[in-house]
Amino acid sequence: MKSFNERCYEVLMKVPKRRLTTYKEIARAIGTKAYRAVGTAMNKNPYSPKVPCHRVVNSNGEIGGFAFGVDKKIKMLKAEGVFIKNGKIADFEKVFYRFK
């Protein structure tokens, strides 16, 4: 049986570039309501490039947090073509990736 964290990484890996997801959505994809714990898992994410932890934001469209600094996170997202407005995602609904 895989650990909670690995499950998070597994689903998060499915998120394509230029797309974003939320902590809650990831939890939902796994089949739990522990979105809080998802954040904890991301913080310790051992698979840095493989798992795009920077593509995870808050449900309200705000950036959220990042282990290496929020500014860094924003930078990376912008580099992928995601526009950010006032520390929030522009057209969040459009780029939001919902798991199936």
Partner DNA sequence: CTAATGACATTTG
Partner DNA sequence: ACAAATGCCATTA
The residue type at 24:
K
Query: In the bound complex, what is the minimum distance in angstroms from residue 63's beta carbon to DNA?
Result: 9
Interface residue with DNA among 1, 16, 44, 93 (CB under 7 A) is: 44
End-to-end CA distance of the chain: 22
The answer to whether 16 and 55 have CB atoms below 8 angstroms apart is: no
Q: d(Cα 60, Cα 16) in Å, to the nearest integer?
A: 20
**82 interacts with DNA by CB under 7 A:** no
User: Under the criterion CB under 7 A, does residue 39 sit at the interface with DNA?
Assistant: yes
- Give the nearest distance from C-beta 79 to DNA in angstroms: 16
Residue 59 token pair: 């449900």
Q: Is residue 8 flagged as an active site residue?
A: no
Q: State which residue, 32 or 80, has the beta carbon closest to DNA.
A: 32
